[in-house]
Structures are given as structure tokens and as C-alpha cells.
Amino acid sequence: MSDCLFCKIIEGNIPSDKVYEDDDVYAFKDIHPKAPVHVLVIPKLHIATLSDCDDPALLGMLMDRVRMIADDVLTLEAGYRVVINVREGGGQEVFHLHIHILGGKKLPF
């Protein structure tokens, strides 16, 4: 989508600190980290919000990649948190579905 920030990051038109990429997903460091490790995992397909995705296979693939990136790429052995903000009320600011991985310290809840 031409006016989507995260689509531009996937296309390389806006620079990002990539941690992982394959045919389906792109993962990069959050520009304003809220934990020592803060990575965003996004599908390459433009989907605005979690509520706009009714594809169980795609959602399953995304969660599997999140697990793999957290465990194998970021090696967050002590654990991590996964967050999806949905629409304005949920704190979503960028309307391209993304999954936050937060870790690197004990996170209060």
C-alpha cells in the first residue's frame, strides 16, 4: 500500500534495522524501544489490523514466526512478551498489522 509506513519499510523505501526476513514476514527493531529488546514482526501482505484478518493460516504462520524470531534470532531465553495493539482504543498507531516482541528484562504486568 503506497501510503503505509510499514509497507515502505518492507520495500526498503524507509530505512529500518532488520533482524529477520523471509517470503512472508519482515522483522525490525522498534524506533522507540519500550524494553531492551523491542522488535516488530509484520506480514509482507498489507493488513490494517488484527480484526481485518480472518485467515487462520496466515495468523498461525505469523505466530510461528514470532516464536522462531524470539527464540532463535533474538535468543530471549529468559522469556519475552508478545503484544498486538488493535485500532485506536488498543493503542495502534500504525495501521499495518504488527506484533511487538518485548524482552531483555523482567517485564512488569
Catalytic positions, written as ranges: 98
Does residue 26 interact with ligand 5GP by CB under 6 A? no
DSSP state of 89: G
32 binds, among Zn ion, ligand 5GP, none (CB under 5 to 8 A by kind): ligand 5GP
Q: Which of residues 48-87 bind Zn ion (CB under 5 A)?
A: none
Does residue 46 interact with ligand 5GP by CB under 6 A? no
> What stretch of H or E contains 64?
helix 56-68
Residue 81 CB, shortest distance to Zn ion, in Å, is 24
Cα radius of gyration rounded to whole Å, the chain:
13
Query: With CB under 6 A as the contact rule, which of the stretches 18-26, 45-53, 60-68, 91-99 interacts with ligand 5GP?
Result: 91-99
Vertex 33 angle, CA 27 and 34, to 5°: 120
Does residue 78 interact with ligand 5GP by CB under 6 A? no
The number of helix segments (H) and strand segments (E) in the chain equals 2, 5
Cα–Cα dist 105/64, whole Å: 22
Does residue 44 interact with Zn ion by CB under 5 A? no
**Contacting positions for Zn ion (CB under 5 A):** 1, 4, 6-7, 46, 96
